[in-house]
Every structure is written in structure tokens, then in C-alpha cells.
Amino acid sequence: MIKYLPSHEYARVEGNVAYVGISPYAAAQLGNVVYVDMPEQGDDVTAGEDFGAIESVKAASDLFAPVSGAVIEANEELIDNPRLVNEDPLKHWIIKVEMTDPSELDALLDQEAYDALCAAEKH
């Protein structure tokens, strides 16, 4: 299952774990990613609050957590090679979260609703 925030972060869910990253649409909008600022393993993130930031040459966006929980892993590959986010944003997640309240997922957009949102943003 994959769900989205309107601010373009996704949560790909496997059991009680959510892989959080940015959508292919967001990655394309940003352009070449040059830096991903992420929390450390063990930090807590809260649904709807920012947990880091992502930067391209021309833009910087805060990253918002789609779900609450503890960070069980930060994708350190992105420190040396942030452009992986552009190559395959769904494969190269940013943090892995042990969810404390999976019911938070209900409030997120499903694929169809998210696609509609992106289509609307493109005008």
C-alpha cells in the first residue's frame, strides 16, 4: 500500500513499517537533488510535522512526515548520492518509520486522489 501527503511525501507501508520518501512528481518538480537533510536513527517523527529538508540547485522544501513513529533507519546512501532520489524516488526512500498509529494512514491520499492532485497542480 502506498499513500501520500498533499505536500508530496509518500508512505509505502509494509506491515508496521512505513518507507517515507518524495513522489516522482515532486522529484521531477525539484530538479537535480543536491542534498537531503534527514533525522537520525532513533529520532521520533510526528505526522504532519517536518522531519528534514530536500534541496535542489534552485529550491528547498521541508519534508513532512505522513505518519508518526520512530525512525528505524535513515537512507544514508542519499548523503553521498542525493541524485538517487531523481533516478527512482519510490525505490530510494528517505526514512523508514516504525508506525505508532497506523490509523493515521486513513487521513492520507490514495494513489488516485494523489494523481488527481498532481494533475490539478499542472493546471
Partner 1 sequence: MNKELYGTLIFELSRPGRTGFSLPKKQTEGGVESSIPAALRREKTLDLPEVDEPTVVRHYTNSSNNNFGVDTGFYPLGSCTMKYNPKINEEIAADATVARLHPAAPDSTVQGALEIYWTLQRALCEIGGMAEFTLNPFAGAHGELTGLMVIHAYHDSRGDSARTKVIVPDSAHGTNPASAAVCGYKIVEVKSLPDGTVDVDDLRSKLDESVAAVMMTNPNTVGMFERSIPEIAEAVHAAGALLYYDGANLNPMLGVARPGDMGFDVMHINLHKTFSTPHGGGGPGAGPVGVRAGLEEFLPNPRVMRKADGSFEARDTDTALGRISMWLGNYTVLMRALAYIKILGAEGLGMAGKLATLNANYIMHRLKDLYLLPIPGPCKHEFVFDGLIDKSTGVTTLNVAKRLLDFGFHAPTIYFPLLFHESLMIEPTETESPETLDRFIDVMRQIAREAAEEPQTVIDAPHTTPVSHPDDTEAALHPVVTFDEL
Partner 2 sequence: MPHTASDIERMLAACGASSLDDLYSDVPEELRLNRPYNLPEACSEMEVRDFFAAMRAKMKPLKCFAGGGFYDHYTPAAINSILSRSEFLTAYTPYQPEISQGTLQYIFEYQTIMSRLTGMDVSNASMYDGATATAEAMMMTVAAARKRNRVLISETVNTAVAQVCATYARYHGVTLEVIPQDGGVTSRAEFEMMVKAGDVAGVIVSQPNMFGIVEDYTGWADTCHAAKALMAMNCQASPLAVLRTPGEWGADIACGDAQSLGMPLNFGGPYLGYICTTKALIRKMPGRIVGATKDAKGNRVFVLTLQAREQHIRREKATSNICSNQGLMALHTAVYCSLMGPEGLRQVNEISAANAHYLVEQLCVTGKMEQAYPDKPYLNEALMRVKPGLTATAIIEAAEKAGILAGVTVADDLLLVCATEMQTRDDIDRYVQLVKSL
Q: How far apart are CA 9 and CA 92, in angstroms?
A: 12
Q: Please give the residues from 18 up to 47 whose contact with partner 1 meets the rule CB under 8 A.
A: 32, 34-35
Tell me: does residue 85 bind partner 1 (CB under 8 A).
no
Tell me: does residue 121 bind partner 1 (CB under 8 A).
no
Let me know: does 9 contact 23? Beta carbons within 8 Å.
yes
The torsion defined by the Cα of 68, 71, 77 and 81, in degrees rounded to 10, comes to 40
According to DSSP, residue 5 is labeled: -
Let me know: does 88 contact 32? Beta carbons within 8 Å.
no
Contacts with partner 2 by CB under 8 A lie at: 34-35, 37, 55-60, 62
Task: Tell me which of 73, 83, 113, 121 binds partner 1, using CB under 8 A.
Answer: 83
Grid cell 536513527 in the structure block, residue: 41
Pick 32 or 41: Cβ nearer partner 1: 32
Pick 69 or 89: Cβ nearer partner 1: 89
| Interaction site with partner 1 (CB under 8 A) | 32, 34-35, 55-57, 82-83
